[in-house]
Amino acid sequence: MSSLGRIRTITVAALALLSLSAQAAFPLADGNGNKFPSLAPMLEKATPAVVNIATTGTVRVEGNPLMNDPFFRHFFDVPDEPQIRKTQSLGSGVVVDAKNGYIITNNHVIDKADEITVTTRDNRVLKARLIGTDPDTDVAVIQVKEGGLTALPLGDSGKMRVGDFVVAIGNPFGLGQTVTSGIVSALGRSGLGIEGYEDFIQTDASINPGNSGGALVNLKGEIIGVNTAIFSQSGGNIGIGFAIPINMVREVMDQLVKHGAVKRGRLGAEAQDLTPALAQAFNIKDGHGAVITQVSKGSPAAHAGLQPGDIVTAINGNPIRDASTLRNTVGLLRVGETATLTILHEGKSRDVTAKITDSKGDGSQGSAANPHLKGATLSNIEEGTRLYGRIEGVLITAVEPGSPAAAAGLHAGDVIVSANRHNVKSVDELNKVTHKSKTLLLNIRRGNGALFLYLQ
């Protein structure tokens, strides 16, 4: 058989396999009775649920910290009113509850929005209100009151396999819907530094700018992920896209609808991946799990009897692949819920129970003792937050306008790593180091950069 003949045979066989694997998605007949595979019947039902989201908002323009001083403001004739800049954003969203008008999207699509507008596929322009948002998973829920919506059924992202066919649907830039197809390239992607909680589905279906918040659907027309990011050095799509698994989105959405925010669970234990070398050291054949490295006193982990060296292999029957999976799983548990942990203790498997507590319930927030920092609200970097495990220091959660902290140039989101050349890991440590100091030398982490501030 010629090479061309073999290619034709392989192509026909592949199409036949594709059609057999998804009969529900591919009615195989045209008007003349000819059979062929097509995504169109499934997409005709799925695409009305994907909407365009446009936002407008305002942000305060940060100037030179010296301009907070009244003398400099008067000398340079700086207006007393804060400088404000208008912002706009475009993205996509997915209707998942037509009756209540709930739409899921990415947090970064609606971040800092004063007004949110939804445009449906039939060109209706609807005002939406924010129900809740979770920056750590980049999930947000908005709501429209008008009826006549079409919702996408929720699939089970836990059943997806590498090689499954998927379709990415977006409604970017108000241009109308776009559809791209591909396969699941990988599962459980984490450690990318995109979000605080990462368990991404990786796909080669093109996820282009403006598609953030759109749907990743299977061949049944069920949403199995929310498109959120791409990996690219040029800004264009190179076939590496990431979607938040719908099972994670469902857990976050439930809490946002009920509480308006996600109440992070806390176990009170630090862990690392079970590497092949550690598995050999612990004389374990199965190299999957998370090794407990530290247990906090009085924590749920301590009450459950966890010890350093124990290996968590499952929580509530769900396998724990590594430390990232452990963190994601605990972070999505309800506060007050009792979880069953399957662990390996000295090589023997057993189940223990732990009652999950609030990650922010230990009174770790407060004000600074030093007058130079007056007006700054300080917080420990707690387990379950996006900075936990990435940096050690004290987080500034808010800065009062016109306060000494604002005049010093401190911003909400800054992390104080050291004070007067002493590393600080908690609000108590920072106050002990600085409360009697007339001058302060602070090492600050801000975004992806760092700087020193000298306050006197």
Record the tokens describing residue 5, joined without a space.
Answer: 């003949």
CA distance 251 to 342: 22
Catalytic residues: 108, 138, 212
Q: 149 near 121, Cβ under 8 Å?
A: no
Residues 267 and 300: their CA atoms lie apart, in Å, by 5
Question: What are residue 72's DSSP bridge partners?
Answer: none
The residue assigned the tokens 């490295």 is: 293
Residue 223 near residue 97, CB atoms below 8 Å: no
Rg (CA), the chain: 26
Tell the burial category of 52 from Cβ atoms under 10 Å away from its Cβ (0-12, 13-18, 19+).
buried
Contacts of 300 (CB under 8 A, 6+ apart): 266, 267, 268, 354, 355, 356, 357
Alpha-carbon span 318 to 333, nearest angstrom: 12
What's the rounded Cα separation, in Å, for the pair 320 and 341? 10
- Between CA 406 and CA 411 the distance in angstroms is 7
